Amino acid sequence: MADSRSTPSSSAPSSGAPPADPAPLTFRDLAAIDVGVLKGVGERTRSVLAKAGVSSVLDVLTTYPRRLVDRSKEARICDLVPDEQALVLVRVESVASRRIRGGRSMVTVRVADDTGSLDVSFFNQPFRARQFAAGQHVALFGKVGRYRSSLQMSNPVVDMIGDRTGRIVPIYPSGDSTPVTSWQFAAMVENALERCRARGIADPVPADVTGRLGLPGRHAAMRAIHLPESAEEHVAARRRLAFDELLRVQLVLVARKRAYERGARGLRHVVDGALVPAFVSALPFPLTSAQRRTIDEILADLAAPAPMHRLLQGDVGSGKTVVAVAAMLTAVQGGHQGALMAPTEVLAEQHFAGVSRLLDGFVVPDGGNLFGDRQLRVELLTSRAAAAQRREILASLADGGIDVVIGTHALIQEGVAFRSLGVVVIDEQHRFGVEQRAALRDKSGGGATPDVLIMTATPIPRTAAMTVYGDLDVSVLDELPPGRTPIATHRATGPHLAGEQWDAVRRAVEAGQQAYVVCPRIDDDPDGDTASVQRLELELSQGPLQGLRLASLHGRLPAAEREGIMDAFRRGATDVLVATTVIEVGVDVPNATVMVVVDADRFGIAQLHQLRGRVGRGSAASECWLHTAERGPSPRVEALVASTDGFALAEVDLELRGEGTLMGAAQKGESDLKLASLRRDRDLIEEARRAAFAMVDDDPALASHPDLRDEISLMLTPEEAAYLFKS
CATH code for residues 487-643: 3.40.50.300
pTM score: 0.70
Contact 45, 31 (CB under 8 A): no
Contact 543, 650 (CB under 8 A): no
* Better pLDDT: 721 or 544: 544
Domain ranges of the chain: 68-171, 275-303+319-456, 487-643
- Asked if the model's pLDDT at residue 667 lies above 50, the reply is no
Residue 725 banded pLDDT, cuts 50, 70, 90: very low
Report pLDDT for 5.
Answer: 37
d(CA 239, CA 216): 9
Half-sphere exposure of 358 (CA within 13 A, CB side): 25
Contact 648, 225 (CB under 8 A): no
What percent of the chain shows pLDDT beyond 70?
Answer: 86
Report pLDDT for 594.
Answer: 96
487-643 and 275-303+319-456 share a CATH fold? yes
- Asked if the model's pLDDT at residue 283 lies above 60, the reply is yes
> Long-range contacts for 375-378 (Cβ within 8 Å, ≥24 apart)?
376/332, 376/403, 376/404, 377/401, 377/402, 377/403, 377/404, 378/352, 378/402, 378/403, 378/404, 378/405, 378/406
Report pLDDT for 527.
Answer: 58
Which residue blocks in 631-677 are alpha helix, DSSP H? 635-642, 646-657
> How would you classify residue 616: left for phi > 0, otherwise alpha for psi between -120 and 50, otherwise beta?
left
In single-letter form, the type of residue at position 577 comes to: L
- Asked if the model's pLDDT at residue 6 lies above 50, the reply is no
Strand order in the sheet with 487-493: 487-493, 622-628, 592-597, 514-518, 576-579, 550-553
The matching CATH number, chosen from 3.40.50.970, 3.40.50.300, 3.40.50.11030, 3.30.390.50, for 275-303+319-456 is 3.40.50.300
* Better pLDDT: 635 or 467: 635
Which residues lie closer than 8 Å to 4 by C-beta, 6 or more apart?
A: 31, 32, 55, 56, 58, 59, 714
Contact 567, 586 (CB under 8 A): no
* Better pLDDT: 83 or 518: 518
Give mean pLDDT, residues 405-412: 86
Report pLDDT for 396.
Answer: 94
d(CA 449, CA 439): 9
* Better pLDDT: 656 or 254: 254
Report pLDDT for 562.
Answer: 85
Residue 665 banded pLDDT, cuts 50, 70, 90: very low
* Better pLDDT: 646 or 625: 625
Report pLDDT for 526.
Answer: 59
Residue 202 banded pLDDT, cuts 50, 70, 90: very high
Contact 638, 626 (CB under 8 A): no
d(CA 344, CA 464): 26
DSSP, residue by residue, 266-293: ------S-SHHHHHHHHSSSPPPHHHHH
Range of lowest pLDDT (262-276, 292-306, 534-548, 685-699) = 262-276
Residue 623 banded pLDDT, cuts 50, 70, 90: very high
* Better pLDDT: 702 or 667: 702
Give mean pLDDT, residues 49-61: 92
* pLDDT tens readout for residues 449-475: 899 998 987 777 777 777 766 778 889
- Asked if the model's pLDDT at residue 169 lies above 80, the reply is no
* pLDDT tens readout for residues 104-155: 889 999 999 989 999 999 988 888 888 898 988 888 888 898 887 788 999 8
Residue 657 banded pLDDT, cuts 50, 70, 90: low
d(CA 683, CA 669): 17
Report pLDDT for 20.
Answer: 55
Residue 164 banded pLDDT, cuts 50, 70, 90: low
Integer angstrom CA distances of residue 643 from 81, 639, 651: 39, 6, 12
**Strongest mean pLDDT among 187-191, 519-523, 581-585, 721-725:** 187-191
d(CA 66, CA 174): 10
* pLDDT tens readout for residues 568-599: 999 999 999 999 888 766 677 889 999 999 99
**Strongest mean pLDDT among 181-185, 233-237, 453-457, 534-538:** 233-237
- Asked if the model's pLDDT at residue 724 lies above 60, the reply is no
Report pLDDT for 3.
Answer: 42
Q: At what angle do helices 218-226 and 182-196 cross, to 10 degrees?
A: 160
Residue 483 banded pLDDT, cuts 50, 70, 90: low
* Better pLDDT: 525 or 634: 634
What percent of the chain shows pLDDT beyond 90?
Answer: 42
Q: Fill in the DSSP letter of residue 667.
A: S
- Asked if the model's pLDDT at residue 496 lies above 70, the reply is no
- Asked if the model's pLDDT at residue 443 lies above 60, the reply is yes
Range of lowest pLDDT (351-360, 554-563, 649-658) = 649-658
The matching CATH number, chosen from 1.10.10.10, 1.20.1630.10, 3.40.640.10, 2.40.50.140, for 68-171 is 2.40.50.140
In single-letter form, the type of residue at position 616 comes to: G
Q: Give SS3 for 448.
A: coil
